[in-house]
Amino acid sequence: MSFVSTLQSVVKFYADGFRQMTWGRTLWLIILLKLFIIFGILKFFFFPDFLHTKAAGNEGHYVSTQLIEQGLIPEAEPAAE
């Protein structure tokens, strides 16, 4: 069996299974709705954009400065001329 025919049989298997569902569709709708609420709506209330408020447009510099200050990466040596 080739990869394409195996992939086609898997897709057909799942398509037939979803087509014959009765309670499954309702459960998938509830699952998707809950995921949307968790990641789409609650994100705005509980996970503010910390980097945007602290960096004010220069995120790369802010992150590198914080990493150096905390000792997570060493400060770069000045280049010899």
C-beta separation of 55 from 62 below 8 A: yes
pTM: 0.44
Find the mean pLDDT for residues 71-76.
77
C-beta separation of 70 from 63 below 8 A: no
Check pLDDT > 90 for residue 30. Answer: yes
pLDDT in tens, 10-19: 999 988 888 8
